Amino acid sequence: MAEERSIGKQIIHEIGEWLYAIVIALVVAILVHIFVGQITRVSGESMENTFHNGDFLVVSKWDHIRGITPNYDDIVIIDSRVNRERTWKDDVTDVVSNYLSIFSKDAERHDAWVKRVIGLPGDKLEFKDGHVWRNGKELEEPYTKDPTMNYSQTAPVIVPEGHVFVMGDNRNHSSDSRFIGPVPIKNVIGNVVWHI
């Protein structure tokens, strides 16, 4: 009888140790995901031919955490909900939805977009004859899939302070700053550092 109790206590102790290890591993994974980086998957064709639907991207969160403005041509992940204040709570809920999306397509977020930085605060952007002009100079954009055929903007766009202007490389099939407006730097979730 005493031996059975001892075995029972040993099993309970073993289960407790496993649960403790699992909880610690989850906490570390969540902290890494929030503060360091994550792996995400491309959904859609807006960044072709640079990235394709289903490609995996390694995203660094370090600049987002420090509030650093990205550079021209950086490929970034943005929160497309530009008309709402993004807080640290969004970083936490991003982790939850990212893990849930592994198990269910219904949990996938549709507001996290991968785009290229075209304009920085204070830049004057113009769109003429299928090309982008920044501060009076036409951009050379060898990464774009096709010239922008279905967009024209008569008035120049001035990128406000604390914002960036982003576009997809597949300009004719991309929802981006042309439609949602400049993106607050707080909504730049991370920089793509590797493509798998």
Q: List, by residue number, the catalytic residues.
A: 46, 115
DSSP conformation letters of the chain: -HHHHHHHHHHHHHHHHHHHHHHHHHHHHHHHHHHTEEEEE--SSTTTTTS-TT-EEEEE-HHHHHTPPPPTT-EEEEES-TTS---HHHHHHHHHHHHHHHH-GGG--SSEEEEEEEE-TT-EEEEETTEEEETTEEPP-TT-SS---S--EEEEEEPPTTEEEEE-SSGGG--SHHHH-PEEGGGEEEEEEEE-
Structure tokens at 112: 């996290």
Other beta carbons within 10 Å of 124: 13
Distance spanning both ends of the chain, measured CA to CA = 57
Pairing verdict, β 124-128 and 183-184:
unpaired
